[in-house]
Structures are given as structure tokens and as C-alpha cells.
């Protein structure tokens, strides 16, 4: 007979979003089962330890952008500790015309930097007096050129967007992709004036926890995943679940799937999908085509990440967060992070760990390269850009993400409307994950907690 289980909530996906949601629900005594296709929890997050290197696959670091991040670590403190990056992480490098230059952090360095044009350096003085935008669908590129000038777009924002979204600032719509920046202009009329005013405004005690520092977990992000799994209990996380499909019968959801060859079904009053946008139709065949298409059209950037570990570092100084490469420079990598410079114990003493990113929305073609071709390309680029030509890395690992980073472009309005419509029409069904509410780990933690609280407080 087919195993049939009952639970209050089913969560599809044991990535960070699903695990955080389950952690808070279970803490309140609500029963949860997570249904995961993979053979391990964590989704795109995974830490690999090899030859003295602590290598992150997927995200290397997050930003303490919401108090929920700090509160999650407080909650898990018996098993996991937040790791805040040392001050080196404040230094960011940008590649221009054959060399790295520090991204200016203050007025004096902004005047002296070779990154921005002479005209734009003067133009910036007028930024507080420029009119605010009126087009709600303005792209990040349009906004930045309008307020700050083209060289800021090319040598600050374009590489910054590559680093976060692996995306194209001309396609990302500011109010969806960088909502805080959008609100800054809309509320205060200026980035510079708004930032100054915001600093002087009194802050609620809780929001002071959002320090905007760079974080990881001590020993690697896997420790955050492992601690969540421990709190949830492995009996509540069903792995290797194939062909997951949900049906809906009079406000009760039935989630059917195969575990090995055994068909299993779970009934619940609530179902939360954290699975992303691509398989929404096979997961929820009862949702109408029009709404499904509006969600499915969300485009994802493909990203290849290459970790390089050197037991003895002989290249240029890597005492910084990392280096980003503007599209205009026509290099083959998007950027490189230096995790061993700002977190302890990520590489043997005297060594260095690099995390190189390539591909993204502008360079889909790299995704189809073979591993040998990627290795060669990265060795050539890093060899030249960090002065380690001919020196082989002691450890080299390649990770591929076909649906790495969702792109919040102008289709976002339609997608968000479709999500609201579906949730209203099927009470108990929650469409979550990175199809809404932001792309970073902090956004996922905030969303997971908010969903759990909504269910708990109903
Ligand atoms: C290469 C890369 C670099 C990143 N860098 C950063 C960074 O520097 N800083 C930062 O803050 N964030 C970064 N992120 C984003 C961050 O990692 C994600 O926001 C977060 O980990 C996503 O968690 P999630 O649970 O929403 O999704 P996922 O981790 O994708 O988890 C979704 C889970 O659902 C499962 N699933 C999907 N479909 C089905 C199905 N049909 N049936 C059953 N299970 C299913 C998947 O197997 C997966 O385990 C990066 C992401 C990538 C890919």
C-alpha cells in the first residue's frame, strides 16, 4: 500500500528558504515535512573541505541586510556561529585598462580615482539637486546614467550588478532588483542626500542588527545548513523525492512523489514551494496556464563558479574582498573573491583561496564549455590578472548553476501579480523562494521567517 502521511505543512525544497521556514514552524509546534529532490539538503549552498581549504560552492558570503539573519544565528547558537568578515572585506577592486583600482570609499578617493571620468566627478556634485525619476519601470542603467553619469554605470554599477545578479543593469528594473535604491530616490530625491539623512534618522533597536557587514558561518556556510537540519530533524526532511506533483481538493493539498520506486503521498492544509520558477507547472498542474506562464517566464542567469586553492600564494596582494570586472573591459570572468583574506581558516597559512565567477546573463555561451576549457580559461585570466601565470592551483573545483540567479526585469510586475492571484485563489498555497522578495541569502532568511510567522499567527 502507498505510504500516506499527514502533516500541517509541506515544504517543497530543502534549500535555505525551506529550511529556515521549517525551523521556525517546528519551533512553534507546527508539523512540517520537507520534500527535496536532491540527496542532500542545502540547495545551492555547500561547503567542501579539502587539503586545508574551506571551499564554498554557491554563495561565499552574504550581507547582514536584515535583523532576521542575526536572529537566526542567535537561535542556532549552540551549533553555529556567525562569522563576520574582517575589515579587508571593505576593500573592493575594479579592473580597468589592465590593472585593479580600489573602488572609492570616500570623497577624497572618489576625486582621485581613475575609474570615473573628470566630467562625472563634477557631475556627482549636482546629484542631490537632480529631479527624481518618474518612470516606475526605469532600468538600473537608466537611473544611474540620469543621476550620476555613464562612467559610474560602467565602472561601479555594471561590475556591482555582475557581482550580485550576474545580470545586465540595462535589463534589471530598479524597483524590483534594487528596491532600497529605488526607495532612496523616491523618498529623499537623491542618493547622496538620502544616505546622509537616513544615517541621522533614529533607528529602531532591532533594525540596528542589520549592520551591512559581510557574513558567513564559522567553518563555512554548511554549518548553517547542518544546524538547521539538526533543529528540524532528519525525519522531517525527505530526500531523493522524484516527480513531485501537488493536487488540491477542497482546501487540502496532496503532495505525491516517488522515493526510489515507492510512491508516497502527503496531505496538508498548507503547502509552500521554494523550488523556483522553472517547474511550477509540473509541481502545481491545477494552476491555470496564464498565471503559470507569468511565473515561469522569470529568467535565470547561468553561473559557473571556479574555486582555486594555492598552498603558497605568489601573486599580487589579495587583501581585499575581491575584484569585479566591468563588461566594457571585455575579459572572460565576471569577478573573483578572496575569501581567505577576510575569513579565518579558509586556506593554509601563506596560501590563498580564490572564488572566480563567469558566465552570467551577458555570457550564456560559457555554460556549454567543457570543464577542461573552463579550467584553461580561468587559469589564463587569473594568471594574467593576479600575476600567477604558469602557477597551477593545488586545488581546482568547478561548480555549475543553470538557474543561478533570477533576473528581476520588467516581467516582474506580471509575475508578482500572478503569484498573488494564485495564493488568493488557493488558500494555503504559498509560492515562495527567489521568485519574489530578493535573491540573497539574507532575503531568503527574512522570507522564510515571515512565512512561518504568518502561518503561526493565523
Ligand atoms: C553561484 C551562486 C552564487 C551566489 N552568491 C551569493 C552571495 O554571494 N550572497 C548571497 O547572499 N547569495 C548568493 N547566492 C544566492 C543564495 O545562494 C540563494 O539566495 C539561496 O541559497 C537560495 O536558497 P533557496 O532555498 O531559495 O533556493 P535553492 O538553494 O535553489 O533551494 C531550492 C531547493 O528546491 C529543490 N527543488 C527544486 N525543484 C524541486 C522539485 N521539483 N521537487 C523537489 N525539490 C525541488 C532543489 O533541489 C533545492 O534543494 C548565490 C547563488 C548562486 C547559485
Q: Does 443 have pLDDT greater than 70?
A: yes
Pairing of strands 270-273, 300-310: unpaired
Instruction: Supply the pLDDT for residue 124.
Output: 87
Instruction: Supply the pLDDT for residue 257.
Output: 97
Q: Which residue has the higher pLDDT, 108 or 119?
A: 119
Core vs surface per residue 316-342: b (16+ CB within 10 A) or e: eebebbbbbbbbeeeeebbbbbbbbbb
Mean pLDDT of 58-70: 97
Q: Does 190 have pLDDT greater than 80?
A: yes
Instruction: Supply the pLDDT for residue 110.
Output: 83
For ligand 1, atom 50: residue with the closest CA: 59
Core vs surface per residue 93-130: b (16+ CB within 10 A) or e: bbbbeeebbebbeeeeebeebebbeeebbebbeeeeee
For ligand 1, say whether the CB of 351 is within 6 Å of any of its atoms: no
Instruction: Supply the pLDDT for residue 4.
Output: 84
Backbone angles phi, psi at 216, to 5 degrees: -145, -165
- Residue 445: count other Cβ atoms within 10 Å of its Cβ: 26
Instruction: Supply the pLDDT for residue 89.
Output: 86
For ligand 1, say whether the CB of 64 is within 6 Å of any of its atoms: no
Q: Does 107 have pLDDT greater than 90?
A: no
Residue of 12, 43, 400 best suited for mutating to test ligand 1, as the one with most atoms within 8 Å of CB: 43
Q: Considering only 23-32, 118-127, 142-151, 432-441, which range has the smallest mean pLDDT?
A: 118-127
Question: For 278-287, what is each residue's pLDDT tens digit?
Answer: 999 999 999 9
Instruction: Supply the pLDDT for residue 92.
Output: 96
Q: Dihedral through CA 442, CA 208, CA 320, CA 327, nearest 10?
A: 50
Question: For 298-342, what is each residue's pLDDT tens digit?
Answer: 999 999 999 999 999 999 999 999 999 999 999 999 999 999 999
Mean pLDDT of 176-183: 96
Q: Does 143 have pLDDT greater than 60?
A: yes
**Under 8 Å between Cβ of 94 and 159:** yes
State the pLDDT confidence band at 1, using cuts at 50, 70 and 90. Answer: low
For ligand 1, say whether the CB of 334 is within 6 Å of any of its atoms: no
Q: What is the mean pLDDT of the chain?
A: 96
**Under 8 Å between Cβ of 387 and 316:** yes
Cell triple for 424:
488568493
For ligand 1, say whether the CB of 38 is within 6 Å of any of its atoms: yes
Instruction: Supply the pLDDT for residue 105.
Output: 84
* Strands ordered across the beta sheet of 82-84: 62-63, 214-217, 82-84
For ligand 1, say whether the CB of 65 is within 6 Å of any of its atoms: no
Q: Please tell me whether the overall predicted TM-score, pTM, comes out greater than 0.75 for this model.
A: yes
Q: Which atom of ligand 1 is nearest to the CA of 433?
A: 26
90/74 Cα distance (integer angstroms): 24
For ligand 1, atom 33: residue with the closest CA: 13
9/29 Cα distance (integer angstroms): 11
For ligand 1, say whether the CB of 18 is within 6 Å of any of its atoms: yes
For ligand 1, say whether the CB of 17 is within 6 Å of any of its atoms: yes
Cell triple for 66:
536584515
For ligand 1, say whether the CB of 60 is within 6 Å of any of its atoms: yes
Task: State in Å: Cα 307 to ligand 1 middle.
Answer: 18
In the chain, the domains with their CATH numbers are: 4-43+224-298+411-456 (3.50.50.60), 116-204 (1.10.3110.10), 300-406 (3.90.660.20)
State the pLDDT confidence band at 2, using cuts at 50, 70 and 90. Answer: low
Q: Which atom of ligand 1 is nearest to the CA of 441?
A: 11
Instruction: Supply the pLDDT for residue 250.
Output: 84
For ligand 1, atom 2: residue with the closest CA: 58
Mean pLDDT of 389-393: 97
For ligand 1, say whether the CB of 305 is within 6 Å of any of its atoms: yes
For ligand 1, say whether the CB of 437 is within 6 Å of any of its atoms: no
Task: State in Å: Cα 441 to ligand 1 middle.
Answer: 9
Amino acid at each position: 500500500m502507498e505510504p500516506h502521511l499527514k502533516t500541517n505543512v509541506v515544504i517543497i525544497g530543502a534549500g535555505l528558504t525551506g529550511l529556515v521556514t521549517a525551523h521556525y514552524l517546528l519551533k512553534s509546534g507546527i508539523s512540517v515535512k520537507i520534500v527535496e529532490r536532491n540527496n542532500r539538503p542545502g540547495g545551492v549552498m555547500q561547503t567542501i573541505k579539502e587539503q586545508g581549504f574551506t571551499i564554498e560552492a554557491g554563495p561565499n558570503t552574504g550581507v547582514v541586510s536584515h535583523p532576521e539573519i542575526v536572529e537566526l544565528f542567535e537561535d542556532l547558537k549552540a551549533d553555529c556561529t556567525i562569522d563576520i568578515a574582517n575589515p579587508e572585506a571593505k576593500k573592493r577592486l575594479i579592473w580597468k585598462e589592465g590593472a585593479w583600482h580600489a573602488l572609492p570609499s570616500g570623497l577624497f578617493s572618489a576625486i582621485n580615482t581613475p575609474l570615473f571620468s573628470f566630467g562625472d566627478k563634477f557631475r556627482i556634485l549636482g546629484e542631490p539637486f537632480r529631479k527624481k525619476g518618474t518612470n516606475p519601470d526605469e532600468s538600473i542603467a537608466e537611473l544611474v546614467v540620469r543621476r550620476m553619469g555613464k562612467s559610474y554605470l560602467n565602472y561601479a554599477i555594471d561590475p556591482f550588478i555582475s557581482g550580485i545578479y550576474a545580470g545586465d543593469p540595462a535589463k534589471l528594473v530598479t524597483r524590483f532588483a534594487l528596491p532600497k535604491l529605488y526607495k532612496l530616490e523616491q523618498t529623499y530625491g537623491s542618493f547622496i542626500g538620502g544616505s546622509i539623512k537616513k544615517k541621522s534618522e533614529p533607528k529602531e533597536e532591532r533594525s540596528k542588527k542589520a549592520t551591512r557587514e559581510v557574513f558567513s558561518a564559522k567553518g563555512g556556510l554548511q554549518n548553517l545548513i547542518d544546524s538547521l537540519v539538526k533543529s528540524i530533524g532528519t525525519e522531517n526532511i525527505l530526500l531523493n523525492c522524484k516527480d513531485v506533483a501537488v493536487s488540491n481538493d477542497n482546501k487540502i493539498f496532496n503532495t505525491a512523489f516517488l522515493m526510489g520506486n515507492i510512491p508516497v503521498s502527503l496531505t496538508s492544509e498548507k503547502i509552500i514551494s521554494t523550488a523556483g520558477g522553472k517547474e511550477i507547472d509540473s509541481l502545481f498542474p491545477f494552476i491555470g496556464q496564464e498565471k503559470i506562464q507569468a511565473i515561469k517566464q522569470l529568467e535565470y542567469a547561468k553561473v559557473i563558479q571556479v574555486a582555486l586553492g594555492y598552498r603558497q600564494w605568489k601573486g599580487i596582494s589579495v587583501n581585499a574582498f575581491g575584484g569585479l570586472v566591468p563588461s566594457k573591459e571585455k575579459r572572460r570572468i565576471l569577478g573573483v573573491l578572496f575569501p581567505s583574506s577576510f575569513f579565518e581558516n579558509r586556506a593554509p597559512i601563506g596560501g590563498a583561496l580564490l572564488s572566480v565567477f563567469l558566465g552570467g546573463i551577458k555570457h550564456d555561451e560559457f555554460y556549454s564549455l567543457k570543464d577542461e576549457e573552463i579550467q584553461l580559461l580561468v587559469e589564463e585570466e587569473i594568471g594574467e590578472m593576479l600575476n600567477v601565470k604558469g602557477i597551477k592551483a593545488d586545488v581546482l573545483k568547478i561548480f555549475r548553476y543553470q538557474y543561478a540567479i533570477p533576473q528581476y526585469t520588467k516581467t516582474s510586475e506580471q509575475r508578482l501579480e500572478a503569484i498573488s492571484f494564485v495564493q488568493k485563489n488557493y488558500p494555503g498555497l504559498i509560492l515562495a523562494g527567489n521568485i519574489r522578495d530578493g535573491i540573497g541569502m539574507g532575503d531568503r532568511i527574512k522570507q522564510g521567517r515571515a512565512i512561518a510567522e504568518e502561518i503561526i499567527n493565523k
